């Protein structure tokens, strides 16, 4: 079954090229990509900062010097649940923003998608393009965001309570939390691209080519 073989090959081979194409379309729509990446970055930075700050506070409460513990105990517990709520909201806003930007990208590239399908692209390949593009933005935004969020909070604690804090940083959990935040950022950017990608792949090539933007 030589035909079958060829069809299989066609399916497997295109990952590297899909990656190259997504990278290029990010470059072409650089302005918008930067905005989307920035929004992911801010969301993740916010999330990381809340997680980091809670984690450092807890550590200080348990092991920290007496005077810092007293200050921390006066901060009410209620503010934490409010923070969680805010983080959730900001991440939701992120998803909406990503979806919106990917939808624009799909509309813009309708004809391009149609053409690619004429040339033999599978729906899977088209979906892969959009998911990859969004995931790439997610990876960059999340790493930058986690870094900013964590270092920001650490600096804040240092300024507020002095250099002793450095000895009470729960390094392992900080690492864990920022890893979690990065992961969540990437998952969110993929989630935001799923619907637009699905839409773009579902179009018949004839219809996609007809549509003028």
Site for other proteins in 9-68 (CB under 8 A): 9-14, 17, 24-25, 28
One of 66, 70, 77, 120 touching other proteins (CB under 8 A): 120
Of the candidate residues 7, 92, 104, 166, the single one contacting other proteins (CB under 8 A): 7
Which residues contact residue 50 at a Cβ distance below 8 angstroms, ignoring those fewer than 6 apart? 83, 84, 86, 87
Q: What is the nearest approach in angstroms of other proteins to the Cβ of residue 23?
A: 10
* Residue list 193-212, contact with other proteins (CB under 8 A): 204-207, 209
Q: Smallest distance from the beta carbon of 104 to other proteins, in angstroms?
A: 16
**Selected binder of other proteins within 61, 72, 111, 169 (CB under 8 A):** 111
- CA 213 vs. chain centroid, Å, equals 28
Cβ 109 to other proteins, closest distance in Å?
9
Query: Which pairs with CB-CB distance under 8 Å and at least 24 residues apart come from 27-33?
Result: 29/105, 29/108, 32/101, 32/104, 32/105, 33/137
Report, in Å, the least distance between residue 46 CB and other proteins. Answer: 33
Query: Between residues 121 and 153, which has the closer beta carbon with respect to other proteins?
Result: 121
Identified binder of other proteins from the candidate list 119, 171, 172, 213, rule CB under 8 A: 119
Query: Could you tell me which stretch among 1-9, 42-50, 69-77, 99-107 binds other proteins (CB under 8 A)?
Result: 1-9
Nearer to other proteins, 114 or 145 (CB): 114
Which stretches of the chain bind other proteins, using CB under 8 A? 3, 6-7, 9-14, 17, 24-25, 28, 111-112, 114-123, 125, 204-207, 209
């Amino acid at each position: 079954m030589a035909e079958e073989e060829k069809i299989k090959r066609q399916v497997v081979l295109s990952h590297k090229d899909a990656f190259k194409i997504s990278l290029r379309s990010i470059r072409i729509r650089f302005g918008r990509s930067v905005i989307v990446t920035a929004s992911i970055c801010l969301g993740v930075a916010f999330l990381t900062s809340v997680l980091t700050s809670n984690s450092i506070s807890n550590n200080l409460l348990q092991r920290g010097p007496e005077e810092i513990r007293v200050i921390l105990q006066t901060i009410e517990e209620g503010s934490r649940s409010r923070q969680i709520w805010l983080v959730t909201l900001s991440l939701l806003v992120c998803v909406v923003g990503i979806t919106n930007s990917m939808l624009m990208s799909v509309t813009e590239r309708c004809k391009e998608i149609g053409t690619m399908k004429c040339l033999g692209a599978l729906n899977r390949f088209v979906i892969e393009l959009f998911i990859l593009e969004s995931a790439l933005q997610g990876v960059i935004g999340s790493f930058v965001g986690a870094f900013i969020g964590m270092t920001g909070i650490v600096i804040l604690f240092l300024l507020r309570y002095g250099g002793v804090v450095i000895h009470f940083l729960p390094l392992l959990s900080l690492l864990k939390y920022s890893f979690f935040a990065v992961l969540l950022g990437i998952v969110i950017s993929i989630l935001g691209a799923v619907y637009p990608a699905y839409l773009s792949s579902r179009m018949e090539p004839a219809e996609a080519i007809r549509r003028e933007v």
